Amino acid sequence: MVQGISAVLGASVGVLGTVGTAVLTYLAARKQADDQGRVTHRSALRAERRDAYLAFLQAHESIDGALNVINIASVPEIAVLDRAIELVDRGAHEIYVSQSRVELAGPESVCGAALEAWGAALNLRSFLDEVRAGLVSPGQYDGQCEARIDEVERCKATFTAAARSVLVGLA
């Protein structure tokens, strides 16, 4: 009888050990799969964000071109103003279009910086319209022009810093 109980206990311990090992193996495999899924998701999210952020920065090329056309020291000629306005219009539109990708990719800190950069482009456009219409005196032009250019560059730098922070955080 004792031997029978001992045999049953031995068999039970063997079965429990096998089941325990199987459960632990299953849990370890599941954790590894979950971890791999998180890594894959992070990688995909990082790539999506990087692409959206790069497109947004590339959309600024027309704005940068306009900044290179504008002479800060004196009111530009009408033809130069027209060219600058054309470049800012194109850039503001491209920024607006690429901003929707940034909005989808997130996070909020980068979305806010993108919105500010678009606003700075629109402010530059309004300023150039005022200059073209003769509403900005030559004595005020250089200060106002410099302020608009600084605003555009500051907003672009703020966006770049926010985007870099997010991408480094996902690495």
- Name the pTM for this structure: 0.75
Q: Pick from 89, 56, 87, 94: which is nearest to 69 by CA? A: 87
Q: Is the peptide bond before 107 cis (omega within 30 degrees of 0)?
A: yes
Task: Kindly state the tokens that stand for 85.
Answer: 């306005």
Rounded to an integer, what distance in angstroms lies between the CA atom of residue 83 and that of residue 28?
A: 64
Higher local confidence (pLDDT), 92 or 24: 92
Q: What pLDDT score does 15 carry?
A: 62
- For residue 132, the Cα-to-chain-centroid distance in whole angstroms is 34
- Which residue's entry shows tokens 């950069």? 117
pLDDT confidence bin for 142, thresholds 50/70/90: very high
For the segment 1-21, the average pLDDT, to the nearest whole number, is 64
Quick check: 112 pLDDT over 80? Answer: yes
